Structure 1
Amino acid sequence: MISSFLLCPGRGSYAKSELGTLHRLAKESGQEGRALLARLEEARSRLDPDLPSLEELDRAERFRPGLHLQGRNASPLIYACTLLDELVHRHKGELRVVGGNSLGFYSALVVSGALDPFSGLRLISTMARLQERGPKGGQVLWTLLEEDWTWSAERKALLLRLLKDLGRALPKASLRPSIFLGGHIVLAGSEEGIKALLERLPPVKLGKRDFPFRLAFHGPFHNPLLLPVAERALEELADLSFRRPRVSLIDGRGFIWSPLWTDPEKLRLYTLKTQVTETFDFTSTLRVGIREFACDEVYCLRPGSSLRAPLGHVESWLSRGLPFPFTP
């Protein structure tokens, strides 16, 4: 049986082309998947009775950004798709290790067995609500990547200078890296800071994509601005039942939470505070998972295909013996 490293996607992975994904996965995952989805829908109706069901969102006639990308809808919808796809994949190989990007780390907690599916939904729904009501700001995606998938040292140096300069000029903007995403980088900060970044980051065209751009409906995730959100989450989710994972879980530092020695209380603190307020290094998640576990396959769970690019960047750098732009 082949060994697998599973990756769980984050916000932004469910877009227009993903409409109907949950419905298709419910069919692919059979009776077990349909039963899980029914229980998730029941739990969502209790947690957020004022919001549409996941199936209503997924089977809408058209994609509406104001509806589908809003955090309290997008996060649970992505989460449900990921869990059903894991059911589909479960019979195809031996799961050795799991990781996730940003929101995907919450899904990874469930896939690894550190949380049950309904605690996972409560975690995701609570964080989406708290972040929606929390400090305002956003995220900007920029790239260090060249056409040959090497990364630009000049662009990295420019970015670090810009962040230093803006840090002096706008000390309350909290502008800093939010997510390391292979050759791409997500930056987060206050509204004032995001506006300054978009004005001063030089444009880069990579393939058909133009950088930088703001990520729609995203807040200042993985940033100290969200400390009040983290503190509130620790209060509201104090009874959430974390446990040792069944398989190894890699977090947003490249740290491995092992089934043999994980302290559930430390995992709780990392989940509800540390990764909420500090940079999420998904590049290190990939690097550690590939190097340390040497699985037969790395599989990006649905919805979408947003994780394939950073995975490709990291695999390319490892195979060519190239350095990484941001090494812990």
Structure 2
Amino acid sequence: MAKPTAVVVCPGRGTYNAPELGYLARHHGGNPWLARFDALRAEVGKPALTALDGAAKFDPAVHLRGDVAAPLIHACAYLDYLAIARDKFDIVAVTGNSMGWYTALACAGAVSGEHGFAIADAMGVNSQNHAPGGQSVLVLAGDDWTVDPALETAVLAAMARHDVLMSIRLGGMLVVAGAPEALAALEADLPPLPRPPLRLAGHGPFHTPLMAASASAARSQLPVEWFGAPQIPLIDGRGAIWRGPETVPRALWDYTFGHQILQSYDFTAAITVALREFAPDHLILLGPGETLGGAIGQVLVARKWLDISSRNGFVALQGEDAFLIGMGRPGQREHAIQ
């Protein structure tokens, strides 16, 4: 019998928090890849991931910094990917959210494991190079995970009034970015939302032209020669598919350190394309954490995939035979690795 098909989803920033401290030790202790990653960091005088992951206490001032969070999240996700039981699943495509694009490149084989880590590690530093600004999360979905189109229209109009840019489309949420004063003005001018706006601590104005310094640093540090054709189709932050035979490595490099940094990232489009083009039997969300699961569920609801039209419908489906397998969720991880 044919194996069930799966699209793998790589998480981005904000997924390694206090509950995830020790994730690498719990799930990947002794993995030779982890030793290689630590060796790469030691070459440039950076603290080992095993030490950061093995800290006695989660320290937001340390663990949430871009130069720490990015390599930690990438290592957790990439090693989770390698742990998926290939005799159980036929992986037909890979995608990711925001910083998860760098992990997706490595998972799909468009860059090597070492170069994928080097990219994520470097971009954790480069992401701190930007014009003044930050991000705020706007929740548009109600308790049933549906979005009122009139509310979204009103929010987009308020964004336009205050020069706030779309950063990430994330299911029933919008991550918006702009200068500090622009975000403050927007938050004061928004219509009532299901939840108050959430300013993301330590985040820059990612996926906007305000990240020009980050993109410039990436292009100067990370060579095009590292890039090749993916072995598995890649779905990017526009919903475009990079297939091996058709991929021009320089174009993939140019997208990664150009559009992907400087323009909005449409995770909703990426998941929609994953569903419609590949019709997978499962989505497998790599760890750490599981915060991206809600956004994926909201896309399923918006697209009425598998006749899911509400949060309750998604929960019911997950209870029967999980369509979305979260490797950061106890009870689901086992389905992916055994």
Normalised TM-score (structure 2): 0.86
Q: CA deviation at 1:60?
A: 1.1
> CA separation in 2, counterparts of 1:272 and 1:305?
27
Q: Distance in 1 between matches of 2:303 and 2:149?
A: 17
The partner residue of 1:26 within 8, 28, 38 is 28
Instruction: Note if 1:132 corresponds to 2:128.
Output: yes
Aligned counterparts of 1:196 and 1:54: Cα–Cα separation in 2: 39
Matches within 5 A, 1:159-308: 159-167=155-163, 175-205=164-194, 210-308=195-293
Residues 56/197 of structure 1: CA separation in 2 closer, same or farther (3 Å cut): farther
**What is the Cα deviation at residue 257 of structure 1?**
0.2
Equivalent of residue 36 in structure 1, options 33, 37, 51: 33
Are residue 105 (structure 1) and residue 105 (structure 2) matched? no
Give the CA deviation at 1:130: 2.0
Runs of 4+ in 1 over 6 A off after TM superposition: none
1:56 pairs with one of 15, 38, 51: 51
In the alignment, the residues of structure 2 paired with residue 192 and residue 138 of structure 1 have an alpha-carbon distance, to the nearest angstrom, of 10
Unmatched tracts of structure 2, length 5 or more: 310-338
The aligned residue for residue 325 of structure 2 is none
Distance (whole Å) between structure 1 residues aligned to residue 73 and residue 308 of structure 2: 34
Question: 1:240: Cα distance to partner?
Answer: 4.5
2:240 is aligned with what amino acid? F
- Cα separation, 2, equivalents of 1:84 and 1:25: 9
Residues 37-88 of structure 1 show CA distances to partners (whole Å, capped at 9, x for unaligned) of 10011012224x1x32111111111111110000000000000000111111
Q: Any residues of structure 2 matched to 1:305-316 within 5 Å, and which? A: 305-316=290-301
Given the alignment, which residue of 12, 15, 34 partners 1:13? 15
CA contact (8 A) 2:105 2:111 kept: yes
CA distance in structure 2 between the aligned counterparts of 1:127 and 1:140, rounded to whole angstroms: 21
Task: Give SS of 2:128's match.
Answer: helix
Deviation per CA, 1:137-187: give whole Å up to 9, x if none: 1110001112222101222121121112113xxxxxxx2110000110100
Q: Secondary structure at the match of 1:6?
A: strand
- Aligned residues of 2:137 and 2:198 also touching (Cα < 8 A): yes
Secondary structure at the counterpart of residue 260 of structure 1: helix
The answer to whether residue 97 in structure 2 is matched with residue 72 in structure 1 is no
- 1:215 Cα shift? 1.1
Alpha-carbon distance, 1:189 to partner: 1.0
Give how far 1:239 is off: 4.6
The answer for unaligned runs of 5 or more in structure 1 is: 168-174, 323-328
Q: What is the rounded CA distance, in whole Å, between the counterparts of 2:55 and 2:122 in structure 1? A: 24
Per-residue CA distance 1:226-275 (angstroms, 9 max, x = gap): 12321232122235510000000000000000012111110000000111
Shift of 1:203: 4.9
Name the aligned partner's letter for residue 250 of structure 2: E
Do 1:201 and 1:212's aligned partners in 2 also have CA atoms closer than 8 Å?
no
Of 194-203 and 97-106, more deviation after overlay is shown by 194-203
Give the whole-Å Cα distance in 2 for the aligned partners of 1:131 and 1:213: 20
Question: Which is further off, 283-292 or 221-230?
Answer: 221-230
CA RMSD of aligned residues (A): 1.6
Q: Does 1:123 align with 2:122?
A: no
Identity of aligned residues (%): 38
The one-letter code matched in structure 2 to 1:23 is: A
Q: State the Cα distance separating 1:198 from its structure 2 match.
A: 2.9
Shift of 1:202: 4.2
**Residue identity opposite 2:11 in structure 1:** P
The TM-score with structure 1 as length reference comes to 0.88
Are 1:198 and 1:213, in contact at CA under 8 Å, matched by a contact in 2? Answer: no
Partner of residue 334, structure 2? none
